[in-house]
Amino acid sequence: MAGGRGAAAPRDLTLGPITRTLLLFSLPTLGANILQSLNGSINTIWIGHFLGEAAIAASSNANIVMFLMFSLGFGFGMATTILIGQSMGARDIVGARRALGTGIGIFAAISVLIAIIGWFSAGAILHALATPPDALPLALAYLRVIFLALPPMFLTLLVTMGLRGIGDAITPLRFMILNVVLDAGLNPLFILGYGPIPRMGVAGAATATLIANYVVLIGIVAYIYAKDIGIRLRGPELRFLIPDPTLLKVIAVKGFPMGVQMLVMTLSGLVLVGLINRQGVDVAAAYGVAQLLWTYVQMPAMAIGAAVSVMAAQNIGAGAWSRVDAITRSGLMVNLLLTGGVVALLLLFDRPALALFLGSGSPAIPIARHIQFIASWSFILFGITLVLFATVRANGAVIAPLLILTLGILIVRVSFAWTLLPYGQDMLWWSFPVGSAVTVALALLYYRFGNWRTQGMIARTVQAEAAADQPAVSDAGR
């Protein structure tokens, strides 16, 4: 799987002991995910200590909106990554570059469009969320600046997913470290003001995020070309940045349902936030901090799922089906151990963790502790679902996971909370384990009995497109 002359060698995930390879590939991804969440947590600490509960509620509401925007980007990025992984498994480096080029082209256009629309519609979005009146002006100032940071966020997301698709999990980790250092370091300067920097309040936290993401995007692109990493585009390959209709169709057809999966989870969260916001600022702040801690609970499952997806994609591309089930079993075992361990730690040390964000005397702390004890363990079940879906989507099966998530996370969870809320606030928190139990049961049934093994992406798309266009790029990358 050689790239250009002097290129950094991609990692071949079709060889070697499965569990060891899975860990070596997933641990840097886990580190990057933890750093990403740590960055958000540090920002919330600054906001909470300097600006109070209303500002925390404001940033929490705005961040949910941003996750909604990222959902579509994740779907397209995941489809691109699967194409890259399957191409690498088939020893087709030009096909991998072609997939990434099309992904970058469409990501750039979509991110700029969303940034423009988001700037002008931020107020209407926050009103639709029933953002508490005390938090609304702060949330609006924060959200508008964050929308401007979307283009570098989207493009960096795609490039890092592309790097993982060729088996490189170290480079994304390095640049996530840079992102955290910049974002966390700039936050107090822009929140409080320093020297020529004006005091910007909660909008300063968003400004720090904006600057950090532009620096990281420029840096990672420069690094890829300086090190001649396999997915770089040069010469005739630069035309791959113009979205290819055939590949774009595949990315859209496969990526849109994966993006909708994220939208389903986000929509479920938005409806719950609307219910939670009506319980008052303290409950909204408590739930916002609980969500931040849950990002750490989900980190192992997300990292293992990403590793399983890329490993499965490369092995499917190589025709090594005997390893795919073994990869899934290994992923489930490692995920249960890691996610279960993080849940246990969170429940044991929840009070000091919550005090970091809210201050030791905050009235939101007992509310947040109660939420944690009811809902945190449900993420063990959801982690199983993530690993199973990571395998099936590696072969292009995206509709059944979407239907399962829609039923379990949106219909069951939201209906449970909405219908039973009159019986007590706890019904909001119990909706998490109920929805996750339904989802994991259906995911196990689909993995065992579904037709996902008969799906396929690479045989029908990448190889056919490469064969049709081979004369024009046969010398590319030499």
What are the two backbone dihedrals, phi and then psi, of residue 197, each rounded to the nearest 5 degrees? -80, 120
Position 215 scores a pLDDT of 95
Number of independent structural domains in the chain: 1
Position 331 scores a pLDDT of 93
Q: Pick from 369, 174, 227, 211: which is nearest to 286 by CA? A: 369
Mean predicted confidence (pLDDT) in 340-363: 80
Q: Residue 92 sits in which domain range?
A: 18-464
Note whether residue 172 is domain-resident. Answer: yes
Most confident of 85-94, 183-192, 294-303, 391-400: 391-400
Both tokens of 230, joined, read 């396999």
Distance between CA atoms of 40 and 35, rounded to whole angstroms? 9
Note whether residue 7 is domain-resident. Answer: no
Contact 24, 330 (CB under 8 A): no
Q: Which residues is 318 bridged to in the sheet?
A: none
Position 464 scores a pLDDT of 52
Both tokens of 289, joined, read 């901090």
Average pLDDT over the chain, rounded to an integer: 81
pLDDT 10s digits, 139-150: 777 888 888 888
Note whether residue 123 is domain-resident. Answer: yes
Confidence grade of residue 2 (pLDDT, cut at 50, 70, 90): very low
Most confident of 142-146, 336-340, 436-440: 436-440
Distance between CA atoms of 158 and 12, rounded to whole angstroms? 20
Both tokens of 105, joined, read 């082209």
127-141, 182-196, 341-355: the lowest-pLDDT one: 127-141
pLDDT 10s digits, 25-34: 888 888 887 8
Contacts of 29 (CB under 8 A, 6+ apart): 164, 169, 172, 173, 302, 303, 306, 307
Note whether residue 87 is domain-resident. Answer: yes
Is pLDDT at 470 greater than 70 in this prediction?
no
Is pLDDT at 234 greater than 50 in this prediction?
yes
Distance between CA atoms of 29 and 214, rounded to whole angstroms? 21
The Cα diameter of the chain in Å comes to: 69
Note whether residue 132 is domain-resident. Answer: yes
Note whether residue 209 is domain-resident. Answer: yes
Does this model's pTM top 0.85? My answer is no
Query: HEC profile for the chain?
Result: CCCCCCCECCCCCCCCCHHHHHHHHHHHHHHHHHHHHHHHHHHHHHHHHHHCHHHHHHHHHHHHHHHHHHHHHHHHHHHHHHHHHHHHHCCCHHHHHHHHHHHHHHHHHHHHHHHHHHHHHHHHHHHHCCCCCCCHHHHHHHHHHHHHCHHHHHHHHHHHHHHHHCCCCHHHHHHHHHHHHHHHHHHHHHHHCECCECCCCHHHHHHHHHHHHHHHHHHHHHHHHHCCECCCCCHHHHHHHCCCHHHHHHHHHHHHHHHHHHHHHHHHHHHHHHHHHCCCHHHHHHHHHHHHHHHHHHHHHHHHHHHHHHHHHHHHHCCCHHHHHHHHHHHHHHHHHHHHHHHHHHHHCHHHHHHHHHCCCCCHHHHHHHHHHHHCCHHHHHHHHHHHHHHHHCCCCCHHHHHHHHHHHHHHHHHHHHHHHHHCCHHHHHHHHHHHHHHHHHHHHHHHHCCHHHCCCCCCCHHHHHHHHHHHHCCCCC
pLDDT 10s digits, 290-312: 887 887 788 888 889 888 988 89
Q: Pick from 393, 415, 335: which is nearest to 29 by CA? A: 335
Pick 268 or 9 by higher pLDDT: 268
CA–centroid distance for 352 within its chain: 27
Both tokens of 24, joined, read 């070596």
Note whether residue 392 is domain-resident. Answer: yes
406-420, 430-444, 447-461: the lowest-pLDDT one: 447-461
Note whether residue 442 is domain-resident. Answer: yes
**Burial environment of residue 198 by CB neighbours within 10 A (0 to 12, 13 to 18, 19 or more):** exposed
